[in-house]
Structure 1
Amino acid sequence: MAVLTAPAATLTAPPRPRRRSTRRFLLVLNAISVAAGIAIWWVLALNGFQFPTPDEVVMKAIALWNAGILQEDILASLGRVLSGFLLGSALAIPVGFLMGWYTVARGLFEPWIQFFRTIPPLALLPLVLVLLGIGEVPKVFVIFLAAFLACVISTYQGVVTVDKTLINAARVLGAKDGTIFVRVVVPASTPFILVGMRVGLGSSWATLVAAELLAAQAGLGYRMQNAQLYYDLATIFVGIVLIGILGLVMDRLLLLAETKLTGWQERR
């Protein structure tokens, strides 16, 4: 028996590295990357480039916070992004499922989605401002459009790329279309949906800043535009850094949701 078990032991695959150790390693690399980026920024600012130094940006952010301006701008921008992004994603997911599952829906929706996908949402902003005014509705609408177009294509792609073998196997086992859709298509499409939402989130932030540059009374983009008029580079950098941080935090939350919802998926 000992002779038989020895070869078996030699054929055992080496254990994979633990996920926790991999995450810690990635966090260390992230910290090193951020520190290196700040150091490069500081060196450039001290060597002739017209950049405010990191400490100047921090002091400016503290001053804006103490004046109550920064909180107002953050809340205004976050409210617009979340409203447009959530509405766009909420509509994109069912439309993407319909396009991928039903040929009739695909034939009806696809030409219009492809048409508007080639038009940047910002190109529609002048028309939207004329039709809807300069309130919050046009800003939320263009963000909604950016998030919708990014997510609907990804959702549709997720449905049409579901392995046909899985669907046929479910049918052989007696599953109805509704059961196949819920138990096979939706789980298999979830990674595509979340990727589309992450892309839509980036598009939402990019669209928001441009919308606030044209017509807003508060917001990070609005504050950056006013700072440009007075050549206030520190305030511009505060807006840039905050947009990056807020976008990164929201993206990490979506990535965490992806990890929780797609735990069955093999990862590197």
Structure 2
Amino acid sequence: MTQLTALGKSSQPAPAARRGGRRPRRAIVLNLVAVLAGLLVWTLLATVGVQGLPTPLEVAAKAGELIADGTLLGDALASLRRVLLGFLLGTLLAIPVGFLMGWYATARGLLEPYVQFFRTIPPLAIIPLAIVLMGIGEVPKVFVIFLASFLSSVVSTFQGVVDVDRTLINAARVLGASDRTIFLKVVVPASTPFILVGMRVGLGSAWGTLVAAELIAAQEGLGFRMQQAQLYYDLSTIFVGLIAIGVLGLLMDRLLLLAERRLTDWQERR
């Protein structure tokens, strides 16, 4: 095992070669410039271009109203709860299923047809079936988000296991490592970057499915609030909902990106 550990360490880049630990200031400046430019274009379109389009100041004022009366916070917490529950359940199931498919040929043969089949069906198309089978409570909403997260993550995990360098596995076997040791010490670490990328894609799918999921007789949530605003042509509220979803999704993605950098610090980065 000492030799196996040494083998793993020898393949890791030197600390000096590690990059990307901190975002460079130039990237942050460019992000700020992009945001300011977007706000400027939005303001120009609202004032001289698209009729009925609210300005950033009008949207900010509406956001202040929704924050003051507690509506925005309540909707954000309701949507965040649904997304987190569906995303976590989907990821927790996708990782072991992906490992099984990648490590055992029998499991791959049994599970892959179902995974590939359901990947071709948009989760939104499952909504009518979910309503019939699960009612109109929280379960169908979470299930649709769970399905979107699961299908994104399971494929990435499976691909990560399949793409593990066979040289590392063969070298570990030559050194006397058991299958269990190879799986835990070689396959899992090598698959971690794929798993985390799959989680980020799954998170995006979860938020992308949220608005449609809240069509199922929801009484609160950002998607529900946007749909209600649509009935009254309240574009400012719709924009507030869109921005809230984007900000929450971005923050969660940044947390996953931070975890990715911590867990894959051994990788050489550009």
Would you call these one fold, judging by a TM-score over 0.5?
A: yes
Query: 1:60 Cα shift?
Result: 0.3
Relative contact order higher in (CA < 8 Å, ≥ 6 apart):
2
Tell me the equivalent position of 1:126. 128
1:122 and 1:158 mapped to 2: Cα distance?
A: 27
- Asked if structure 1 preserves the Cα contact closer than 8 Å seen for 2:95 and 2:195, the reply is yes
- Asked if structure 1 preserves the Cα contact closer than 8 Å seen for 2:18 and 2:265, the reply is no
2:22 and 2:90 mapped to 1: Cα distance?
A: 37
Tell me the equivalent position of 1:47. 48
Out of 101, 104, 108, the position equivalent to 1:102 is 104
Q: After the TM superposition, which residues 69-148 of structure 1 pair with which residues of structure 2 at under 5 Å, given as runs? A: 69-148=71-150
1:214 and 1:90 mapped to 2: Cα distance?
A: 25
Out of 255, 258, 261, the position equivalent to 2:263 is 261
Out of 59, 72, 84, the position equivalent to 1:57 is 59
Out of 229, 244, 252, the position equivalent to 1:227 is 229
1:72 and 1:202 mapped to 2: Cα distance?
A: 22
Identity among equivalent pairs (%): 70
5+ residue gaps in structure 2? 1-15
- Asked if structure 1 preserves the Cα contact closer than 8 Å seen for 2:19 and 2:268, the reply is no
Post-superposition CA distance 1:175-194 (Å, at most 9, x none)? 00000000000010000000
Query: 1:213 Cα shift?
Result: 2.8
2:29 and 2:106 mapped to 1: Cα distance?
A: 50
2:17 and 2:259 mapped to 1: Cα distance?
A: 23
Post-superposition CA distance 1:74-128 (Å, at most 9, x none)? 0100000000000000000000000000001001100111111110111011010
Q: After the TM superposition, which residues 157-176 of structure 1 pair with which residues of structure 2 at under 5 Å, given as runs? A: 157-176=159-178
Query: 1:206 Cα shift?
Result: 1.0
Tell me the equivalent position of 1:5. none
5+ residue gaps in structure 1? 1-14
Query: 1:18 Cα shift?
Result: 7.4
- Deviating 4+ runs (over 2 angstroms): 15-22
Tell me the equivalent position of 1:30. 31
2:152 and 2:40 mapped to 1: Cα distance?
A: 35
1:230 and 1:212 mapped to 2: Cα distance?
A: 18
SS in 2 for 1:216: coil
Alpha-carbon spacing, 1:19–1:131, altered in 2? closer, same or farther (3 Å): closer
User: Are 2:253 and 1:251 aligned?
Assistant: yes
TM-score between the two structures when normalised by the length of structure 1:
0.92
Alpha-carbon spacing, 1:69–1:256, altered in 2? closer, same or farther (3 Å): same
The one-letter code sitting in structure 2 at the alignment partner of 1:104 is T
Question: Could you say what the CA RMSD is over the residues aligned between the two structures, in angstroms?
Answer: 1.5
TM-score between the two structures when normalised by the length of structure 2:
0.91
The one-letter code sitting in structure 1 at the alignment partner of 2:108 is R
1:258 and 1:215 mapped to 2: Cα distance?
A: 36
Tell me the equivalent position of 1:153. 155
Alpha-carbon spacing, 1:18–1:118, altered in 2? closer, same or farther (3 Å): closer
Corresponding residue pairs, total = 254
Larger Rg: 1
Query: 1:21 Cα shift?
Result: 7.7
Out of 177, 180, 203, the position equivalent to 2:182 is 180
Tell me the equivalent position of 1:236. 238
1:204 and 1:38 mapped to 2: Cα distance?
A: 27
SS in 2 for 1:263: coil
The one-letter code sitting in structure 2 at the alignment partner of 1:254 is L
